[in-house]
Structure formats: C-alpha cells, structure tokens
Amino acid sequence: MVLSVVHSQEESSSSIASCVFASRYIQDPLPRYKMPERSIPKDAAYQIIHDELLLDGNPRLNLASFVTTWMEPECDKLMLEAMNKNYVDMDEYPVTTELQNRCVNIIAHLFNAPVGEAEKAVGVSTVGSSEAIMLAGLAFKKKWQNKRKAEGKSYDKPNIVTGANVQVCWEKFARYFEVELKEVKLSEGYYVMDPFKAVQMVDENTICVAAILGSTLNGEFEDVKLLNDLLVQNNTNTGWDTPIHVDAASGGFIAPFLYPELEWDFRLPLVKSINVSGHKYGLVYAGIGWVVWRSKEDLPEELIFHINYLGADQPTFTLNFSKGASPIVGQYYQFLRLGSEGYKKVMQNCMESARLLREGLEKMGQFEIVSKVKGIPLVAFAFKNQNKSLAFKLSKALRHYGWIVPAYTMPANAQHVTILRVVIREDLGRQLVEKLLSHVECALGELVETPTMAPKVTFTIKVRPTKGNLGSGGDGGTLHVPATSLYWEPENPEVIHKEVQLSDGKTKGVC
Ligand SMILES: *Cc1c(COP(=O)(O)O)cnc(C)c1O
C-alpha cells in the first residue's frame, strides 16, 4: 500500500524526469516580475537562468571595460570559499580583516605614503573607486568646513576643480553631497585637465583639485606633478591650503610598475588621498576599490564610526555596512602570488598588446590614434574624417563578430570628436589582438559596402484622366498628392545608433 505520494506524477514516474529538458519546467511560463507561487527543482532553476544568461555578451570579449574578467582557478576557489563571509563582521572574521589591512598597507607603500616602519597606513577597502571617491571627497569637505568654521568664514559653498574628462562618479559625489563641480573644459587634441587652467579656477571654497591618473576617455595620465607645483605656488600667494586628490582608479596599478620614476603620488606634498580600483588593474573581479590617505590628519576623526555590537570596537568609514569578503581575499591573493615582478610583467604584456593593436589600426590608414603611448594600456581611436556615424557603425559591426568596442563622443568642449576605445586587460593577448585587427578590417569592408546614403526612389505615375473623377478640367491639369501620404518604409527598419542625451550631466557611464 502506498501511504503517501508527495511527488507529482511526472517527477516520480520515470527517470526521464531527471532530465531538465524533458521536464515541464522548460515549457512552463514564468512570471517575470512577480515571485512564482510554486517552487521548482534546483536543476531546473539553474538551467533556466543559465540559458537566459547565454545571451549576455562574453565578458572576455568586452573591450569596453577596465574591470577584470579573468583570474587564476586557485583564486576563484579561494574567493568561492570566502563567499559566505560578511566582511563587516570583523570580530568574527579577524583574519579577513587582517588581510584587508595588509592590502591597505601594501597599497600605501606602493603609492609612497610617508608611513614609518612601525606605523600603519590609513585607508579602507570599498566596493569600487566610486565609493572610495565619495569617502575621499567627504574627508576633504569636512576638513575644509572645520577650517572655515574655525576662521569664522562661510562654509556653505564648497567646490571641487576637475577636468571635464572626470568619470561620472565625481558628478555623483558633487550632486549627492552638495559640492559644486568646476570642470576645466577640454579642447580638440587635448583631452585631460590643463593644470594651469585648473589652478586658475581654484578659489577659497575649493576643497580639493582632483587629478586623474589614467583618464577614462583616452587613458592619458594628467600631469599631477605640474599641478602640485602650481598649486604650491598658488597656496603661497593666497594663503589657502588647497589639496590634491588623485583618482588613480585605472592608473594606480600601472604607474608604479611601468613608470616608477613618474611622480604622481604621495611623493608630492599636496596629494592627500588616492583611490584605486582593485577590480581594474588590481586584477580582481568586480567589487573592490581602495582609498588611502597620506596621514591620520587628512581623515577627520568625526567621519569614523566605532561599532561594537558585533564584538570588539571596530572603526569603520564606508558608505555601506555589509559586503562580501571575497574580493578582499582575491586582492590579497594577487599581491602575494604576483608580487611586484608579476604585476610588472602583466602590465608590460598589456602594453605590448596595446602597441600591436595601435600599430595595426594605424596601418589601416583610416584612423587617428587618440590615446597616448604612455598611460593606461588602451587604444582610443577616431576616424580621420570625423564622420561621427562611422564610429558607431564600426562599433555595431564588431558586435557581429562578438567584440564589444564602445564608441562615444568626448565631453565639453570636444563633443564633436567621436572615438572608439579598446581597453587591454591581461587576458587580451597577441592572438586575440590579431583576430580583433582582422575583424576590424572585415567590418570596415562591410561599412563601405553598406550604402550609408538615404535610398533614392524613383517612381512614375501614369495618369489617364477619366471624365468625372479628376475634376472637370478636361485633358490638362495637375495631380495633387498630399505630402503626408508619401512615405518611405525600409524593408529592414533598424536603429543604427541611439544617443541618450541627458539635459544635465554625463551622457556616458564608461568605466
Ligand atoms: C573606473 C573609474 C572610476 C569608477 O571606478 P569604479 O571602481 O568602477 O567605481 C572612477 N574614476 C576613473 C578615472 C575610472 O577609470
């Protein structure tokens, strides 16, 4: 006697039920925006979601992003092992906390922070450079406000001076935390902040000047040393105390290994804080950034919260509370595993790929290279004839080969320049670069073959007037066709490119 039948007929009837594609779950409609009433088996859930995700782009071929898409299997394993740890439970996971502290110190030393042998560096891990920049910006704002208050001066109109090439997170900081962003405009052929113009824009309400080491748009390093020297002079002349923040999101792990002689970091006295994305050239998957301060004095104590309800007293300065511990473990793995030697070799390989790509593109004769040889390993290029739509079309054509290469217009005052950008990450080696070049050539061929002009239409209308239905004017007369009744309908309607313009703010969130 069967006491209970808990499975549906289908599930218990035969072994075929164990094959997801033979089950009804593959055909059942899924409510998209509401939670389904019934549970489904785990293998069916896995397969359904896995299959839908097949339609995402391939991360390895996504050349739009600086963010890491490949790590060693050993590190994948470590990160999986740490997946169920909440980083914020520092008292429960003291070793993870210790690893983050080691990373902060490693980075501070890499950036030449004046940290004594027995001293600890000041800094935190964040979700990315955006959070790091919010924290650094808040520290500058607080410090400036405290100083102004002490001097009995107004402290309600803080501003930051940056180049118009800043990443969108600076605009977010400005809007969310009510700081005016004063952007130095770019010009054709000069796509980074001009230090002379920046210093001219500084006033008594400037909480910091933000320089970028590795412009998001073309990878170029801004001249932080020149900015520092000009600002030192300006501070002496005015009696102000304007500091510098370096947004080294992409360049922070490039410059120390490829250009150790380049002075852009804490070697310059006015540089008070630096952010870097661990998930860019720090070589860790998405979810980690860092911010380090020159010294304790540069991080106002009132921004630090001390929590003790998870155990011992823990200082924290972050925007979020809980977050995964895996990226911190991944970052520490990379430092330990690669060492300076490994990072240098990885970056050299990236530069070599960038060189191959740049030279290959130059040979094609149609492009002008907009990125610099020195800087982030990326190749930004524009069509020589400045045909805006060609860049977008090439970007689209490359998609058919699997490559994601973004095209975008430059910010003010270089909006008329449209560029394409290929970011070289460590997993884009010579073989792939050569393939990419050959696909660019094929795509260019397709662009030439595709008529870009509006189609010419010729048609003849034969009119044989019949008495009565074309008026009563006899044989002579004019046929009137209302303009609204004539239209052209292409056989394959297709949107070539959609440009999203916001009335205010950045149009692109390239990262
Ligand atoms: C990527 C980037 C950011 C934002 O960093 P996330 O780590 O993605 O938050 C900020 N500034 C620059 C210069 C960048 O390249």
What ligand 1 atom has the least distance to the C-alpha of 214? 13
The pLDDT value given to residue 498: 44
The pLDDT value given to residue 499: 43
Residues in contact with ligand 1 (CB, 6 Å cut-off):
66, 128-130, 167, 169, 212, 216, 247, 249-250, 277, 289, 511
The pLDDT value given to residue 203: 98
What's the Cα-to-Cα distance from 146 to each of 125, 155, 207, 301, 469, rounded to whole Å? 26, 8, 11, 12, 87
The pLDDT value given to residue 306: 87
Distance in Å from the first CA to the final CA of the chain: 65
Query: Which residue shows structure tokens 């054509």?
Result: 397
State the distance from the centre of ligand 1 to the C-alpha of 129, rounded, in angstroms: 5
Shortest CA distance to 103 belongs to which of 232, 252, 247, 214?
Answer: 252
pTM of the model: 0.86
Shortest CA distance to 163 belongs to which of 194, 117, 138?
Answer: 194
How far apart, in whole angstroms, are the C-alpha atoms of residue 249 and residue 127?
12
State the distance from the centre of ligand 1 to the C-alpha of 362, rounded, in angstroms: 28
CB distance 191 to 217 below 8 Å: yes
Phi, psi of 225 (to 5 degrees): -65, -45
Q: Does 353-449 carry CATH code 3.90.1150.160?
A: yes
Could you give the residue range(s) of every CATH 4.10.280.50 domain in the chain?
9-56
State the distance from the centre of ligand 1 to the C-alpha of 289, rounded, in angstroms: 9
State the distance from the centre of ligand 1 to the C-alpha of 22, rounded, in angstroms: 46
- pLDDT mean by block of 10 residues, the chain; 511 residues: 52 64 91 94 96 95 97 98 94 93 97 93 97 98 97 97 95 97 92 96 98 95 98 97 98 98 98 98 98 96 84 83 96 98 98 98 96 96 85 95 94 88 97 98 86 54 56 56 57 48 48 55
| Local structure of residue 13 (DSSP, 8 states) | H
Most ligand 1 atoms within 8 A of CB, residue of 160, 216, 218 to mutate: 216
The pLDDT value given to residue 315: 82
Could you give the residue range(s) of every CATH 3.90.1150.160 domain in the chain?
353-449
Most ligand 1 atoms within 8 A of CB, residue of 192, 247, 273 to mutate: 247
For residue 122, the cross-strand partners are 293
How far apart, in whole angstroms, are the C-alpha atoms of residue 190 and residue 395?
24
The pLDDT value given to residue 448: 78
State the distance from the centre of ligand 1 to the C-alpha of 67, rounded, in angstroms: 9
The pLDDT value given to residue 163: 96
CB distance 362 to 97 below 8 Å: no
Q: Which fold has domain 9-56?
A: MYOD Basic-Helix-Loop-Helix Domain, subunit B (4.10.280)
Shortest CA distance to 178 belongs to which of 148, 211, 137?
Answer: 137
Longest dimension (CA), the chain: 107
The highest-level CATH class for domain 77-336 is: alpha beta
H-only helix segments in 16-93: 42-53, 73-81
- 128 CB-near residues (< 8 Å, 6+ apart): 277, 279, 286, 287, 288, 289
SS3 411: coil
Could you give the residue range(s) of every CATH 3.40.640.10 domain in the chain?
77-336
